Structure 1
Amino acid sequence: MAIADFPGRSRLDACPGALQTHAAADGGLARVRVPGGRLTPFCLRELAEAASSYGSGVIELTSRANVQVRGLGPSDGPSDGTSDGAGNGFATRMAAAGLLPSATHERVRNVLASPLSGLDGAGVADVTPLVDELDRRLCARPALAALPGRFMFALDDGRGDVAGLGADAAVLPTGVDEAALLVAGVDTGIRVPLGEAVTALLAAADAFLAEQAAQGVTAWRISELRDGAARVTARVRAALVPRAGVPASSAADDGPSRYGTAGPGPGTGSGPGGGPVGTGSEPGTGTGPEIGPVRAEPVTLGPVGVFPSRDGTRVALGVAVPLGRLTAAQAEALADAAVGGEIRLTPWRGAVLPGLPPDEVAATAARLTAAGLVADPASPWIGVTACAGRPGCAKSLADVRADAALVVARAGGAVAGGAPGTGTLPVHWAGCGRRCGRPRGRVADVVATGDGYRVELDGTGLTCAGIEETAAALAAARGDL
C-alpha cells in the first residue's frame, strides 16, 4: 500500500514508556526517553541500579538514543496503559532520578541530537542548548501530550548525522544563524533563525496533530498521513510566517526572509565525511553561499574512537555497546569515565564521553574495552545490531543475539590471525521477517528462518542451513562494498 493511500492505524499507539510498559515474552518492558541522549553519571548509575532491582539487570540502548529495561515484574509497570503508574517501582525510581519530568509527556520526549555537537568543531552550530529548550517547551504544552510515542524530533548540528534518521520534524543549520526545517525527511524550504528552531519543530508537531484530526485517521508518523509532508509543511508555514510580520502569501514569493524559503537547485554539501550537509561552508565556520534544498541521507555508523576539540585541549571518546546491551558493570565503567560530567547516548547504540583530558583518553579507552565496550573503530562489532530475539520475543525464531555474538567473535579471531577485516557494512540480525530495530540505509539483513538464516543484501539473498554457512555468507556480504 502506498503511503499516500494510508488509511490509518487500526489501534491506538501502545509504544511503551516508564509508566505504560509493554508485556513482552520475558516480562514487562519499560522505555525511558533521554532527549538528545544526554545523561549525567548519576542518572546512568540510577538506571543501572533500577534495571538490576526491577528487571533483567541490562540497560538496552535504542535507535533513538533512548533506553529500555526488560524483565519487569507485574507490579513494576502496568502493561495495559490504563494505570497512572501507582505502585510502579521502576517509574518511581526514574522520577526520583529526574528522568521522568512529565508523567503526561513521558512517551513523546523523543529527541535526537548530533552526539558530537559542540565537541569536535565539525558541525555548523552547537545544538545541545536546543535539546533542553525543546524538552522544556514540549512538556509545557498540554496539547502535545497527544503526540504518538513514535513521533520523533531531531536536532542536527549541520554535519548531517541525525537529520536522515527518520525524524518527523528535524532542523539542520545551514549557516551560523539559520536552520532548515525538514518534515518526514523532506526539506520544507522553510528557513528559520537558529534561535527559533524549537518554535519551528513545535509548529510541525502542532501541524501533525491538526492534520491527523482533519484526515480523521490514527497515524503515528507524518509519513503515514495522506500527503503528510506537504500538508504539514503548509500548516507550519502558515503558523510561522505571521510571527515574522510577513504576509503568508509573500514567504514563498519573495525569497528568504526571517522565516524564509530555500531557493531552487540542489544542495552543495557532501554530507557525512565531507562537511556539513547542504552548505557551502567549512566545518565549524557557519559561513557559506545561499543554498538549495537540503538532502539528508541516513548515517549507518556512529562515532567510535577519539575526537579532539578544535583547540586540542579536550577530546571526546566514542564507544560502541555490543548489540546495544549495557550491563550494570559497563554502565558503572562509563559513569566512572565521564569526568566531563556527561554521557551522550547515540542512535547507533553507543555512547560519547565529552571533555576528557587528551593524556588520559588512551587509559580510559583501555578500561572501557576491558569492561566489554568497543573503542576501536575497526572492531568487527561496529555496525552489528539485532532485535530482541529469543527469549524476549515470542515471534522470534532464534536467539539472534547469541548467534550474532558467536559470528562476531569468530570474525575477531580470524582478523587477529591475519585474515582481512569484516568491512564496515552494517548488519542487522532479526528473529523474524518484521526485522524490528533495523537501521536505515544500506544494511545486510540476517533473518532467522527456523532452520537457519537468510542473508540478504540489495534485494538478493542466500538461505543458510547453519551458523557456519551463515557466517561465511555474511562475511562475503560485508566485504561487498
Structure 2
Amino acid sequence: MLAAMSTPPESPGRERGDACPGALRLHAADDGALARVRLPGGLLTARQADVLADLADDLSDGHLDLTSRGNVQLRALPDGCGTALGTRLREAGLLPSDRHDRIRNVAASPLSGLDGKGFADIRPWVRELDGLLCSSDDLTNLSGRFLFGLDDGRGDIAALAPDVTLIATEGGHQALLSFGTGPDALRVAVEDAPRVAVLAAREFLAALRENGGKAWRVRELAPALRPRPERLADRLAAAGIGSAPVPRATLPLGAPAAPGAVEGPGGRWALSVAAPLGRLTSAQWRLLARTAGQDGAGELRVTPWRGVVVPGLTAPVAAARLAGLGDAGLVVSAASPWHGAGACTGRPGCVKSLADVRADATASLEAARPGGPGTLPVYWSGCERRCGHPGGRWVDVLATGDGYRVAVRHGAEEATVAVTAPAGLAEAVTAARNPPPTTTPADGPRG
C-alpha cells in the first residue's frame, strides 16, 4: 500500500534575486563555472551545433547537458572564460542580445511540421517571438525561469504548464493563449500569436508591480493575484489585436516525442533520440550535427525532454543513421530503460548533493529488468532542490545521505514507494514507474 502524503504549496514569492545562469551570467558550481545557452524552440543549425561541440572541448569538460527547457549547458568552465565564451556564441548567432540572454526561454513542439500531426508549423512563431523578446527592453525584468510555450496543437508543450502558453487550434488559423494551463483563455489569430505572447508577459509584469510580488513564475502567485485574460484582452485591443474569451478552456495535454524514426509528408523522416541522463559527449553531439548537415535539413531541434530531433532524412538513410546513433550510445527506442530517465549533476559537481546520483542512476538502469521502462519518467536528485526535475507525474528518486527515497510525485502530491540503499534501486524504481493510472492534471517543470 502506498502512503499518500502532501507537500506544502509553493511560495507565492521569492525573497532572493533570480540567480538563473545564462551564457554571460555563469553559475559557480563545485566542478567549475556553468553556462546555459538558450536555444529558443530548441532550434539550431548544424554549424551552430558544431560551435557548441568546439566550446565543450575547448572550454568545458567535453560534455553537453540538455535541460528541461530544450537548452544546452556547459559545465566545468575555467575562471576567466566568460569573454571568450560570449564572443564565440555571438559569432555563431547563439547570443543575439546580451541584455536579453536569460529571458529567451521558449519551448516549442519539436515535431511541429515534421509528422503531420500538429495544426500548424510553429517555427515561424519561435523566430518572431525571439526577435520581439530581444527588442523589448522592459521584458528584461522577467525572471530567467519564466517560460513561453508554443504548442502546435498536440499538447506536448501545454503539458509543461508554461507561464504563457500559445496552442494552435484545428484548422491552423487561430490559437489559444492562456497563463499556465488556464482555466480561462483567449482566442487570437495565428499571425498575431508572437505579439500576443509578448503582451501577455507584460501583463504578468504589471500584475507583479500592482501587488508588490517577487514571483518568478505565474504559478507562484496566488490565484487572485495572477494575470487575468480579460485584462490582457484590453491590452491586446489597445495594440490593435482582436481576441475572444474562451472561459474554462481545456488545453490538450499530450505526450513527449518518443525516440525512434518519425515518418513525415513527402517521404522525409526525422530521427528522435534522447541523451542518456540528459548528457552527451562532444563526439555524440558532433555525430548528430554531422547527420543533420550531411543527411538531413541542416537543422537540429533540442527537446524539453533532453532529446534531439534531426529532420529531413530519406527513409533508407534514416534507418541506417538511427542504428548508428544507437551504437554511439544514444537512446533510440522507447523500450529502453533509459527512455524518460534523468538525473541532476550530483557529486562531485554539486556541493549540495548527498550522493553521486548519476553513477547510482547508471547502475540502476543497467540492472533494470527487461520488459520496457514503464509508464512514468524517473529522475534522480542529490538534494531536496530537485534541480531540473520533469513536470507532470514522475518518479522521484531522492538521495537521503543513507540511500534513496523513491516516490511517485505529481505537483504537491506524492506517494512513497520505498526507502532503499543504492543496491535496491533498480527493483524499487521499476515498480514505481508502473503505478496505477491517474487523471490528475499536469504541472510544469521546475527551474
Asked whether the two chains share a fold, i.e. TM above 0.5, the reply is yes
Q: Which residue of 1 aligns with 2:430?
A: 475
Q: Which residue of 1 aligns with 2:64?
A: 59
Q: Which residue of 2 aligns with 1:428?
A: 379
Q: Taking structure 2 as the reference length, what is the TM-score of the superposition?
A: 0.90
Matched-pair contact (CA < 8 Å) for 1:222–1:229: no
**Are 2:218 and 1:262 aligned?**
no
Which is further off, 400-409 or 464-473? 464-473
Q: Taking structure 1 as the reference length, what is the TM-score of the superposition?
A: 0.84
Q: Which residue of 1 aligns with 2:41?
A: 36
Q: Distance in 2 between matches of 1:462 and 1:423?
A: 15
Q: Which residue of 2 aligns with 1:9?
A: 14
Q: Pick closer, same or farther for the CA change 1:430–1:298 going to 2, 3 Å.
A: farther
**Are 2:333 and 1:376 aligned?**
yes
Tell me by how many angstroms 1:427 deviates.
0.7
Which residue, 347, 354, 357 being the options, matches 2:314? 357
Tell me by how many angstroms 1:478 deviates.
2.2
Matched-pair contact (CA < 8 Å) for 1:365–1:375: yes
Which residue, 29, 32, 46 being the options, matches 1:27? 32
Q: Deviations over 1:280-306 (max 9, x none)?
A: xxxxxxxxxxxxx1234374x433111
**Are 2:76 and 1:71 aligned?**
yes
Residue type at the aligned position of 2:14 = R
The structure having more radius of gyration, on CA atoms, is 1
**Are 2:177 and 1:181 aligned?**
yes
Q: Pick closer, same or farther for the CA change 1:454–1:117 going to 2, 3 Å.
A: same
Matched-pair contact (CA < 8 Å) for 1:298–1:440: no
Give the secondary-structure state (helix, strand or coil) at the position aligned to 1:343. strand
Which residue, 197, 202, 207 being the options, matches 1:201? 197
Identity of aligned residues (%): 47
Which residue, 392, 407, 428 being the options, matches 1:456? 407
5 Å-filtered alignment, 1:279-294, equals: 293-294=249-250
Tell me by how many angstroms 1:229 deviates.
6.9
Which residue, 209, 220, 232 being the options, matches 1:236? 232
Q: Distance in 1 between matches of 2:143 and 2:351?
A: 25
Q: Distance in 1 between matches of 2:146 and 2:435?
A: 35
Q: Distance in 1 between matches of 2:388 and 2:224?
A: 24
Q: Deviations over 1:91-128 (max 9, x none)?
A: 22111111000001000000010000000000011111
Give the secondary-structure state (helix, strand or coil) at the position aligned to 1:150. coil
Q: Which residue of 2 aligns with 1:272?
A: none
Q: Distance in 2 between matches of 1:183 and 1:386?
A: 29
Q: Deviations over 1:143-170 (max 9, x none)?
A: 1122111111011000000012121101
Q: Distance in 1 between matches of 2:168 and 2:239?
A: 20
Tell me by how many angstroms 1:465 deviates.
4.2
Tell me by how many angstroms 1:460 deviates.
2.9
Tell me by how many angstroms 1:263 deviates.
5.6
5 Å-filtered alignment, 1:64-463, equals: 64-77=69-82, 88-175=83-170, 176-227=172-223, 230-244=226-240, 258-262=242-246, 293-297=249-253, 299=255, 301-311=256-266, 313-338=267-292, 339-411=296-368, 414-415=369-370, 420-457=371-408, 459-463=414-418
Q: Deviations over 1:167-216 (max 9, x none)?
A: 11010112321100010221432100000011110011111111211112
Matched-pair contact (CA < 8 Å) for 1:186–1:229: no
Matched-pair contact (CA < 8 Å) for 2:36–2:73: yes
Matched-pair contact (CA < 8 Å) for 2:417–2:432: no
Residue type at the aligned position of 2:245 = T
Matched-pair contact (CA < 8 Å) for 1:389–1:398: yes
Residue type at the aligned position of 1:408 = L
Give the secondary-structure state (helix, strand or coil) at the position aligned to 2:184. strand
Matched-pair contact (CA < 8 Å) for 2:230–2:245: no
Q: Pick closer, same or farther for the CA change 1:163–1:460 going to 2, 3 Å.
A: closer
Residue type at the aligned position of 1:147 = L
Q: Distance in 2 between matches of 1:219 and 1:480?
A: 34
Q: Distance in 2 between matches of 1:149 and 1:473?
A: 35
Which structure has the higher relative contact order (CA within 8 Å, separation 6+)? 2
Q: Deviations over 1:67-97 (max 9, x none)?
A: 11111111023xxxxxxxxxx2212211111
Tell me by how many angstroms 1:468 deviates.
2.5
Q: Deviations over 1:22-58 (max 9, x none)?
A: 1111111110100000111111111111112111221
Give the secondary-structure state (helix, strand or coil) at the position aligned to 1:367. helix
Tell me by how many angstroms 1:232 deviates.
4.1
Tell me by how many angstroms 1:228 deviates.
6.3
Q: CA RMSD in A?
A: 1.8
Residue type at the aligned position of 1:36 = G
Q: Distance in 1 between matches of 2:238 and 2:204?
A: 19
Q: Distance in 1 between matches of 2:388 and 2:206?
A: 29
Matched-pair contact (CA < 8 Å) for 2:207–2:225: no
Q: Distance in 2 between matches of 1:325 and 1:263?
A: 41
Residue type at the aligned position of 2:42 = G
Give the secondary-structure state (helix, strand or coil) at the position aligned to 1:382. coil
Residue type at the aligned position of 1:295 = L
